[in-house]
Amino acid sequence: MSTNNNEKHVKVLVLGAGPAGLSAALYAARAELEPVVLTGMQLGGQAALTHTIENYPGFPTGVGGPELGELFQKQAENFGAKVEFGMAYEVDLSKRPYKVTSDNGEYLADTLILTTGANPTHLNIPGEVELTGRGVSYCATCDGWFFKDKKVVIVGGGDSALEEGLFITRYASSVTVIHRRDEFRASSVLQKRAKEHPKMNFILDTVVTEVIGSDKVTTLKLRNVKTAVESTFDTDGFFVFIGHVPNTQMFKGQLEMSDLGYVIINDKMETNIPGVYAAGEIADPHFRQVITSAGMGAAAAIQATRFLEAESA
């Protein structure tokens, strides 16, 4: 449904095209609601930046992150979902239909499913911003290849740090994980794999305080948190995997959010505004899996369908 060339009126508008958004689109399309997905930056979401996904059911030998995103997209489109490329930058939730302004024009939406995901957290230390793209990275799949036969350091002690570290061992000559505690948060399976890998080394109880290099990373400044002893460590690459920040800036002041900025939803994926749902990592600080995000997306679309049906009954 369209009102004019610059303003499209849709029954279901999905913001974001990761596992949550594309699953929501599949379910809404099968309910014949002709959903539109406004992709944002990354088709496939963060999953598309993961080399291999080994824990999404149905793929016993794993599936490539980008490939899984394409399969999600195709399946949703097969049932009539429209995937449109563009970034939303303003949302007006004060009245229905809800207005979304994007670089692809304006949308009026009877219901909205918000799945804008999360971005990697930065360390905020000197040199980090200046050397991003010159040795500092937040994406192993994107940048791992650049460190063939080179030394790489990873910061973090969660699943992402160890999983991405193991991935980078394909290219790098060594991968040193620097973690601020002496215990990892990552699952025991990943810890075992990482500790047994001949290319992986660990520096514990230590934080990186500065990234040094003129036009590319050469050295890190470190501080042992127990002894306060400072030291340096030479490296070619520096990957940061210390968690994520939800992309919810656009909804501030309109939607209820937690102190950490996650959208608050109930068990039906409903936000505090009727007809506005949130799914995936913008509303989930706990699980952050492809399967949980996809499930939340499906649930949001089922709820949006019920909402629209109740209205037209």
Residues binding ligand NAP (CB under 6 A): 55, 123, 155-161, 163, 180-181, 185, 207, 241-243, 288
Residue nearer to ligand NAP on the CB measure, 127 or 156: 156
Pick the catalytic residue from 92, 103, 142, 182. Answer: 142
**Shortest spacing between CB 186 and ligand NAP, in angstroms:** 7
* Single-letter code of the amino acid located at 177: V
**Smaller CB separation from ligand NAP, 35 or 157:** 157
CB 170 to ligand NAP: min, Å: 17
Decide if 143 is catalytic.
yes
DSSP β-bridge partners for residue 127: none
With respect to ligand NAP, which residue has the nearer C-beta, 40 or 157? 157
Q: Closer to ligand NAP by CB, 119 or 174: give it.
A: 119
Amino acid at 198: P
- Beta strands per DSSP E along the chain: 2-4, 7-15, 36-38, 52-53, 63-64, 82-84, 88-92, 98-102, 105-114, 118-120, 136-137, 151-155, 174-178, 200-203, 206-212, 219-224, 230-234, 237-240, 244-246, 276-278
For residue 142, indicate whether it is catalytic.
yes
Known catalytic membership, residue 236: no
Give least dist CB 267 to ligand NAP, A. Answer: 20
Ramachandran category for residue 305: left, alpha or beta (phi over 0 → left; psi -120 to 50 → alpha) = alpha
Taking a C-beta distance cutoff of 8 angstroms, is the pair 296, 269 a contact? yes
Minimum distance from residue 159 beta carbon to ligand NAP (Å): 4
CA distance 120 to 41: 14
Backbone angles phi, psi at 143, to 5 degrees: -115, -10
Query: Minimal CB distance to ligand NAP: which residue?
Result: 158
The DSSP bridge partners found for residue 19 are none
Catalytic residue numbers?
139, 142-143
